[in-house]
Amino acid sequence: MIAIIQTYGSMLVQALGKTLLLTLLSLSFAMIIGLIISLMNVGKNRFFNFFGTAYVDGVRGVPLIVLAYFIYFGVPTGVKMMGFQDFRLTALQAGTIALAMNCGAYMAEIIRAGIESIDKGQMEASRSLGLNYVKTMRLVILPQAFRVMIPSIINQFIITLKDTSILSVIGFPELTNMGKTIAGNTFKSLQTWAIVGIMYMIVIVALSKVAKRVERRVNLGRG
């Protein structure tokens, strides 16, 4: 175990960095996707409702690993067939897209539930003052909804962080992929996977602790 850490320690830390990078990128895009899709779903426009529901059902209906293969291998092949020979996707790009799409669908449901949990009187009070729908969402509904959603969002963050390991299948050098390489080179599966597991655990536990803090502070602000 010590030997592995001595030899591969810096590579493992680098790989963990890649995992975190992929997580952060995916989450940022997932938040945007989630917000857009959820707004489509809470509004009354039938076309938007249809599109929003189709997105959520569609993405949730496909395993992440299949989505990752489709985007990394399938999409470039398709684009090339359309005549764009230079089109390429790096593993990081494809991984980010797959994760963001996947996490975005869950985020959309979290945000929708958050918005719907806010009392109808809030929308009416704001509209009666002359604010339009968009301003009301931005100033009145979403700030309250986000407070309600914080625990679920953090939970989704953790799930997405763990899901990055699935992207080892498209060869992105994140933590799990590094674990495969090291276990293959050293034949020390037990030690290698124990180390990798502990590394994930440390980050996730730390994240949950920070999350609890944030949650408490936000609730204090309510007075």
Partner 1 sequence: MAEGKTIISVKNLKKSFGRLDVLKDMSMDIEKGEVVVLLGPSGSGKSTFLRCLNQLEAATGGTIIVDGQTVTDRHTDINKVRENIGMLFQHFNLFPHKTVMQNITMAPIALKTMSKEDAHAKGLALLKRVGLSDKADAYPSQLSGGQKQRVAIARALAMNPDIMLFDEPTSALDPEMVGEVLAVMKELAADGMTMVIVTHEIGFAREVADRVVFIDAGYIVESGSPKAIFNHPKEPRTIDFLNKVL
**Contact (Cβ atoms closer than 8 angstroms) between residue 40 and residue 104:** no
Q: Tell which residue, 191, 151, 221, has the closest CA to residue 2.
A: 191
Q: To the nearest whole angstrom, how small is the minimum distance from the Cβ of residue 34 to partner 1?
A: 21
Q: Which is nearer to partner 1, 83 or 221 (CB)?
A: 221
CA 120 to chain centre: 29
Give the nearest distance from C-beta 50 to partner 1 in angstroms. 23
CB of 36 to partner 1, least distance (A): 22
Give the Cα separation of 34 and 49 in Å (integer).
Answer: 14
CB-nearer residue toward partner 1: 138 or 209: 138
Q: Distance (Å, rounded) from C-alpha 145 to C-alpha 202?
A: 30
* Unique residue bearing structure tokens 């994760």: 99
Q: In the complex with partner 1, which residue's Cβ is closer, 36 or 131?
A: 131
Total length of the chain? 223
> Of 147 and 180, which CB lies nearer to partner 1 in the complex structure?
147
Nearest residue (CB) to partner 1, 187 versus 217: 217
Give me 184's structure tokens: 């293959």
Alpha carbon distance 93, 118 (integer Å): 36
* Smallest separation (angstroms) from partner 1 to the CB of 75: 42
Q: Is the Cβ of residue 122 or residue 208 nearer to partner 1 in the bound state?
A: 122
Which residues make up the interface to partner 1 (CB under 8 A)?
Answer: 119, 121-122, 124-132, 135, 139-140, 143-144, 147, 221-223
Task: State the nearest-atom distance from the C-beta of 218 to partner 1, in Å.
Answer: 10
CB of 46 to partner 1, least distance (A): 17
- How far apart CA 44 and CA 148 sit, in angstroms, is 23
Burial of 96 (0-12, 13-18, 19+ CB in 10 A): buried
